[in-house]
Amino acid sequence: MRNLYEILSVSKTATEHEIQKAYKKLAPKYHPDKGGDPEKFKEITAAREVLTNKEKRQIYDQYGEEGLKQRAQGGSGADPFGMFFNMDQFFGQQSQQQSQQQQQSKKCNPVVVQIEVTLEQLYNGDKITKNVPLNRLCSACHGNGYKGNHKSDKCSDCHGRGIRVIRRQMGPNIIQQMQMQCDKCNGEGKKIDNKYKCETCNGNKVYKVDKRLDISISSNMYNGMKIMHRDKGEEYPGAHRGDIVLIIVEKEHSDFKRSDKHNLYIKKTINLVEALTGTRIIVEHLDRHRIYFDLNEIVKPKMFKRLIGEGIPQGKGDLIIEFDIQFPDYVDQENRKKLENIFNQKVEINNIENSGAKEGIVLDYHQNNDQNNDQNNDDDDGVPQGVQCAQQ
């Protein structure tokens, strides 16, 4: 089942302004006119439409997409004789059947657990243990929620049907009606009096247990990978047991990075003399083994080398090395002359007399400062100038 908040990458407590801003940042990326994915664009547009509509969002938060579908099916239409009929009785039997069918076919929502691992653990392999809190059917009442032989009573709000029919006067002789799951009994049609509640689960029919998961970490895993444990998750009466979904979250390493599933990346800094005359590079890997190779060429900034077979073991990837050249902060006049002689190049200052040129004002430039300024000056829509999204 889709999560509309995750589609727009916002939290459940996001304001309408934050939702609109998130949509406007995603729209240019997926807009068909800009070469984006049409289906993804429809998806984020539909999510925005629901979450920025107060009434639709309230229904979605309480009942999910199924509640929105039921609302749409209920629709609105002319019902001039509606005031003379008991609509609850008219829809009662059908509502009860639908509720029972939904309970028989539904499955508990999956429990999502993030497993944080280091790059060393992924490279070398490891075993970790994770305790996951889960709902399990109460063993004392067998998931009924009441103690002894007492039976639960019908919910007075939905009269035992699990679904409420909501009607709203839209205009003269026009009534909007929709069916929604009863929020008092969670669609079960039954309520338990406090004095008859099971003392073990307090009438909740389930209680929390910690399930221990023993997880083997291997090098074929990667950041964002999902591991499914089917039918090992939560339990609830009238529903199939849910799943546990483990998501691998790779912690950032100080030196190594994973450029893809198989290749590793590292940056090595050498000084200017080493870049010009050559040097020996030694790399200590994630399992502490050391590799060396010789540089017998002039190394330029942003030059890359590839160490074959030194990536992720099972992927048989490579280790990509990027070189960063460390330049001296200052060269005195005497050494400047030496450099001119070594490279056989004399530095000449351009003659500006009669050129009409004026001396400029120069300051140190840091790109991060510009990026911070751009973020501070960014308006609330986040859409680049010139991108216009068609109205849906």
Which two structure tokens, joined as six digits, stand for 101?
């069918």
| Cα dist from 309 to 220, 282, 285, 306, 316, whole Å | 15, 16, 12, 9, 6
Q: Are residues 165 and 285 in the same domain?
A: no
Is 122 inside a domain boundary?
yes
Residue 88 has pLDDT above 70, yes or no: no
Is 64 inside a domain boundary?
yes
User: What is the predicted pLDDT for the residue at 151?
Assistant: 66
Residue at a domain's end among 193, 227, 250: 250
User: What is the predicted pLDDT for the residue at 72?
Assistant: 62
User: What is the predicted pLDDT for the residue at 191?
Assistant: 79
Distance CA(76)–CA(225), nearest Å, equals 44
Cα angle, residue 266 at apex, residues 260 and 272 outer, rounded to 5°: 145
Please tell me the total number of residues recorded for the chain in this structure.
Answer: 392
- 103-145 residue pLDDT tens: 445 899 999 999 999 999 999 999 999 999 999 999 988 888 8
User: What is the predicted pLDDT for the residue at 315?
Assistant: 66
User: What is the predicted pLDDT for the residue at 294?
Assistant: 96
| Residues spanned by the domain of 336 | 257-368
Q: Are residues 132 and 100 in the same domain?
A: yes
Which two structure tokens, joined as six digits, stand for 279?
């040097």
| Cα dist from 263 to 220, 248, 287, whole Å | 12, 18, 16
- Which residues in 218-346 belong to E strands, given as ranges? 226-229, 244-250, 257-258, 264-271, 279-284, 290-295, 304-307, 319-326
Considering the chain, what percentage of its residues have pLDDT values greater than 90? 39
User: What is the predicted pLDDT for the residue at 86?
Assistant: 41
- 54-74 residue pLDDT tens: 888 888 887 777 777 766 655
Q: Are residues 90 and 238 in the same domain?
A: yes
Q: Are residues 272 and 360 in the same domain?
A: yes
- 16-36 residue pLDDT tens: 888 999 999 998 888 877 778
Is 38 inside a domain boundary?
no
User: What is the predicted pLDDT for the residue at 73?
Assistant: 56
Q: How much is the mean pLDDT over the chain?
A: 81
The string of DSSP letters for 351-381 reads P-TTS---PPP-----HHHHHHHHHHH--TT
Domains of the chain: total: 2
Residue at a domain's end among 250, 282, 313: 250
| Selection from 159-168, 203-212, 365-374 with the highest mean pLDDT | 203-212
Query: Which residue shows structure tokens 């799943």?
Result: 243
Q: Are residues 199 and 266 in the same domain?
A: no
Residue at a domain's end among 250, 284, 302: 250
Q: Are residues 158 and 213 in the same domain?
A: yes
Is 48 inside a domain boundary?
no
Question: Which DSSP state fits 125?
Answer: -
User: What is the predicted pLDDT for the residue at 268?
Assistant: 95
User: What is the predicted pLDDT for the residue at 77?
Assistant: 37
Q: Which residue has the higher pLDDT, 290 or 54?
A: 290
| Selection from 86-95, 156-165, 275-284 with the highest mean pLDDT | 275-284
Is 137 inside a domain boundary?
yes
Q: Which residue has the higher pLDDT, 282 or 61?
A: 282
H-only helix segments in the chain: 4-7, 16-30, 38-51, 54-74, 87-105, 119-124, 272-277, 333-343, 367-377
Distance CA(40)–CA(48), nearest Å, equals 12
Q: Are residues 175 and 228 in the same domain?
A: yes
If pLDDT is split at 50, 70 and 90, which confidence band does 367 have? Answer: low
Mean pLDDT of 244-249: 95
Q: Are residues 139 and 154 in the same domain?
A: yes
Mean pLDDT of 235-250: 93
Q: What is the largest CA-CA distance in the chain?
A: 108
Is 66 inside a domain boundary?
yes
CATH code of 314's domain: 2.60.260.20
Q: Are residues 71 and 180 in the same domain?
A: yes
Q: Are residues 221 and 123 in the same domain?
A: yes
Q: Are residues 106 and 160 in the same domain?
A: yes
Is 362 inside a domain boundary?
yes
DSSP three-state, residue 110: coil
Q: Any residues with CB less than 8 A from the CB of 274 and at least 6 apart, and which?
A: 295, 299
Radius of gyration of the chain measured on its C-alpha atoms: 33
> For residue 31, how many other CB atoms are within 10 A of its CB?
21
- 311-338 residue pLDDT tens: 988 668 999 999 999 999 999 989 988 9
Is 225 inside a domain boundary?
yes
Mean pLDDT of 281-302: 94
Q: Are residues 105 and 169 in the same domain?
A: yes
Q: Which residue has the higher pLDDT, 282 or 344?
A: 282
User: What is the predicted pLDDT for the residue at 355?
Assistant: 76
Distance CA(158)–CA(263), nearest Å, equals 59
